[in-house]
Amino acid sequence: MQDCPPPLVQMERSTVWEDGIQHVMALTDTDTRMVEAAYTLELTPPYFVAQGEVQLCNKRDADARIRYRHEATPPIPWRLTGAATGDVCIQGDSVVLFIVESPVEPSETRLVSFYWAAEVRRATDLNNDGTVDSEDLGLFLLHWGTDSASADYNHDGTVNGQDMGLLLMDYGWTMH
């Protein structure tokens, strides 16, 4: 895990969902570099996984360190626990930034394969015991009407009936 780097050049990106897996293609082509990425994102509890390849091309006359950075958010109501493998950083409890970076010599193209996984939990499992039950409902009610990020499942800024609806939809869910 590392400090999250700042955003880079905006890339053209297309995504397609197929059988619960998001397929991503991304491309940027500037005067100094070309970056092309192809990978998948998949939520398979308790993991949020990305794997694929990034092609890094240096168009400069000198060595360069080229980086690809992607933000990925597990679907509501999943939250990241903070444990991750690979070159990943986590912002807050819901955004994963994975980074592919490599030194590339002048006029060289480098293909970098990657795999990372971050542990996730059900956002409505407030006490992290692997089950959404009355204990979680009790903890949720303590946050009612506040801006508590841990119970604001839809991220609208207030813990309210919409969030309770998400909790009740999950009621009885268990990790195992």
> Whole-angstrom Cα distance, residue 39 to residue 59?
23
The 3-state DSSP composition of the chain as helix, strand, coil percent (nearest 5) reads: 10, 50, 40
Q: Please give the backbone phi and psi of residue 136, each rounded to the nearest 5 degrees, phi first.
A: -70, -40
Rounded mean pLDDT, 143-161: 93
Q: Please state which CATH number belongs to domain 124-170.
A: 1.10.1330
Band (154; pLDDT cuts 50, 70, 90):
confident
- Would you say residue 32 has pLDDT above 70? yes
- Beta bridge partners of residue 17, listed in sequence order: 22
Q: Which residues of the chain does CATH 1.10.1330 include? A: 124-170
pTM of the model: 0.70
